[in-house]
Amino acid sequence: MAQSILGLDVGARAVKAVLLSSAYRGFEVADHAEAPLEPAVEGGPSLRERQAAALGRLLADRGWKAELCVVTTPGVAVAAHVVTLPFTDPRRIEQTIGFEVEGQIPYELAEAAWDWQPMGERPGMADLWVGVAPRAELTALLELLSGAGLDPRVVAPPAPTLAALLAPGVLAGEPLVAAEGQPAPAEAVLDLGEERATFCLGAAGKLEAARTVAWGAGALARSLAADLGLSAPDAARLLAGLAGGPLDGPDDGPLQALRDDPRAAEALRRAVAPLLRELRATVRGWRARGEGSRPLARLWLAGGLARLPGLAELFAGEVDGQVLPLELGAAAARGLPADTAPSFALALAAALRGHLGARLSRLNLRRGDAAYTRDMEQLRGRVATLGVAAGLVLLLAVASSGVKVFALARQEQALDKVLCDAQTKILNKCYPNYEEALSVLRGRGVPGAAIPKGSAVDVLGDLSARVPDGVALRLDRIDVTEKKLHLQGTTDTAENVDRIVTGLHASRCFADARPQGVRKRASDSKFEFSIDSALACSNPAQGGE
């Protein structure tokens, strides 16, 4: 049965959502939507309030009913730390990582919402990506979502969440295959938002590096305005035009001319330089952790600026392969058109995080007191059903036990009758207590008085105990009579025969054990042997030294 999963990207300009239909064999994008935020007004609603209003409008317009919700933390409130530990055991990591985090944040650990995610693999070493945010930020986000009727199961930082897009089959293009004798190539996603740029590097959906930088379309527009002498609104419209938007207004003539002016391209290059430095540092850090020989084969550009002219060329020097606008594979492309896919990359990644679950990532800021509790509430709702089912199972168990007791009682009666018939045949009387019948047998001069105290089972038990450890042998024949034991078998060496005889001598029952013949077999170099021993005690199980 398919499960509906809602992925949310609560941004500074819009709230974007992707509704995923998740099944065991795959997923489909059922729907997607975007609700812009109201413009900021001095003294007006706060950013949180405008985000809540936009989210409410989006859900009301679509009427979605999602069974699971995954949301990425908005803004740059999450601080990222890379921690390296000299062991890889998850239990030891969980016991240790809290002390490492506490030493790197400027407030108490109890005031933080945090979690960790392993990055790559190194022998004997664990590289961890740790996301930390003030607990107040998480509480505010949960209150915002609660007002819209949502209780997200996962709240994750945006950078590691983008790793879901790198899972097999999500993005278009040929799968990355390692050359013979070479390490597997990696790929990355760079999401350019309004106030942040989010970078994620990995392979096959596994995170290997992640970074969020406080740089986005807003910073780019401000830089263009300063370099080209434009007002902030004109710079924003020029940037939208450069990214493929329309510039056909009556007052857009100067901006149309400036869009093709080389000065705009040069201003764009200078504006992107800070982001390029941060990206270069992240890639170098990834290579320094032991991935230096691995190629970074592809960089996917996402966000509203993904198709900005010249942007791919600016990042090409940091990648060993192509720099491309984000393009989805067949499963995702059917529900997300190619022209809108880059803008919904983070919302899609959040939904895929819910679809892939523990197969992809364990990172979730909802831990401890803020943990998701809806599962427990659903469990409580099913207690009555489970109670009825448990009662039926108990009733069936009682009935089954009654039938078994009745059957065993019948079988016991049949066995008592057979025993009584045997006693009557031998002793001419049926004794209620079989031990009394044995006493009568031992005390009378009848053949039954010769019943031995020891049995062949006891002889075999003592024989097994006397064979030395580590001796490989095969017994082809075992003859046990009242007074004699005869063995025939094979073993690897002639010395093993002596060891077996020595072991038998340790028992009073086999004190005169001796080999009768040892012969090497030509077919497989095994040694055939036979051993004879008199049985010198009546109960071999008690005949040991």
Question: What digits encode the pLDDT tens for the residues 505-518?
Answer: 888 788 788 888 88
| Rounded Cα–Cα distance for residues 505 and 513 (Å) | 6
Give 387's pLDDT tier (boundaries 50, 70, 90).
confident
Is the pLDDT higher at 203 or at 324? 324
Residue 251 pLDDT = 66
Give 519's pLDDT tier (boundaries 50, 70, 90).
confident
Asked if the model's pLDDT at residue 543 lies above 70, the reply is no
Quote the mean pLDDT of the chain: 85
Asked if the model's pLDDT at residue 211 lies above 50, the reply is yes
Give 181's pLDDT tier (boundaries 50, 70, 90).
confident
Identify the three-state secondary structure at position 178.
coil
| Rounded Cα–Cα distance for residues 463 and 458 (Å) | 9
Asked if the model's pLDDT at residue 378 lies above 60, the reply is no
Overall average pLDDT of the 53-59 stretch: 94
Asked if the model's pLDDT at residue 121 lies above 60, the reply is yes
- Report pLDDT digits (tens) over 284-309: 888 888 755 678 899 999 998 888 88
Give 376's pLDDT tier (boundaries 50, 70, 90).
very low
Asked if the model's pLDDT at residue 485 lies above 70, the reply is yes
Residue 29 pLDDT = 92
* 192, 216 contact by CB (below 8 A): yes
Residue 480 pLDDT = 86
Give 418's pLDDT tier (boundaries 50, 70, 90).
confident
373: CB partners within 8 A, 6+ apart: none
Give 139's pLDDT tier (boundaries 50, 70, 90).
very high
Is the pLDDT higher at 357 or at 380? 357
Q: Are strands 14-23 and 3-10 parallel, antiparallel or unpaired?
A: antiparallel
| Rounded Cα–Cα distance for residues 544 and 415 (Å) | 36
Asked if the model's pLDDT at residue 183 lies above 90, the reply is no
- Report pLDDT digits (tens) over 233-282: 888 888 877 776 666 566 667 777 777 778 888 888 899 999 999 999 99
Closest CA to 211 of 255, 165, 167, 160: 160
Q: What percent of the chain has pLDDT over 90?
A: 32
Overall average pLDDT of the 173-180 stretch: 79
* 224, 230 contact by CB (below 8 A): yes
Query: 162 φ, ψ to 5°?
Result: -60, -15
Q: Is 69 exposed, middle or buried (0-12, 13-18, 19+ CB in 10 A)?
A: buried
- Report pLDDT digits (tens) over 28-50: 999 999 999 998 888 889 888 99
Asked if the model's pLDDT at residue 360 lies above 90, the reply is no
